[in-house]
Amino acid sequence: MFAGGIPDDYETGSIQAVDLATGAVETLYTEADGAPLRGPNDLVVDAHGGIYFTDYGKSDGVTGDKGKLYYAKADGSSITMIAAGMEGPNGIGLSPEGDRLYVSETYTARVWWWDVTGPGEIEGGRSLGGSGGGNFLYTAPDYTNFDSLGVDAHGNVCVASMIHAGISVVSPHGRLVDFVDIDVDDDPGITNICWGGDDMRTAYVTASSTGQLLKIEDWPRPGLKLNHSG
């Protein structure tokens, strides 16, 4: 139902660019400052064309990596670690104004945020002991795992929620606005959300344990148009 472990032939994670016209794949990054990327997970592109992404790390079931956040240029010219010491950072997104960075952790089911003060520059520190130095936003009230996230046009953080399957919609102030239950073939692995359509009210959701892509019409709130999406 859920993937895990480290394959015997595993070497490193990577960030790749795919040419949508030709299908050509270019590997941009496999390391940062000499340290290999372990488990890059999710990414978001800012207004400057830079990429924020999470590195979940790897675990053999006994020991495991601490998660990290990176900022990289889309042309492959530079990559910088901007936060570390996290517990399975997974989803990542930017506020509508681009002045906040949000990250969800899987097993803690927590969402953290940082002020964005410049391209690839973040500040936290308002939460004592915040994961990765971030500020606490929200945690699930029941046994839930958080996966990837999307931000809607109202600035709400919409976190794909596993075990208790659905989408947790959290306000920028840390209040649960809504929980959208999604029960398809008893799939507990709701893992991502994005939006499309002329009014951005069509949600696309991944149900990973059964390998399905779900299309949900008339989502309660419009999604946020991503940077450089046209």
Residues 168, 182: contact at Cβ < 8 Å? Answer: no
C-alpha 45/C-alpha 40 separation (Å) is 15
How would residue 61 be classed by pLDDT, with cut points 50, 70 and 90?
confident
What CATH class does 30-216 carry?
Answer: mainly beta
- Find the mean pLDDT for residues 112-134: 96
C-alpha 92/C-alpha 89 separation (Å) is 8
Q: What is the pLDDT of residue 214?
A: 98
Q: What is the pLDDT of residue 4?
A: 76
- Tell me the percentage of the chain whose pLDDT exceeds 70: 100
Average pLDDT of the chain to the nearest whole number: 96
Residue 229 or 23, more confident: 23
- Find the mean pLDDT for residues 41-69: 96
Q: What is the pLDDT of residue 115?
A: 98
Whole-model pTM over 0.85? yes
Q: What is the pLDDT of residue 5?
A: 82
DSSP-based helix, strand, coil % in the chain, nearest 5: 0, 50, 50
C-alpha 58/C-alpha 147 separation (Å) is 15
Tell me phi and psi for residue 208, to 5 degrees. -80, -30
Write out pLDDT tens, residues 159-193: 999 999 999 999 999 999 999 999 999 999 999 99
CA dihedral 90→110→100→117, nearest 10 degrees, is: -80
Statement: residue 2 has pLDDT above 90: no
Q: What is the pLDDT of residue 229?
A: 87
Statement: residue 20 has pLDDT above 90: yes
Statement: residue 3 has pLDDT above 80: no
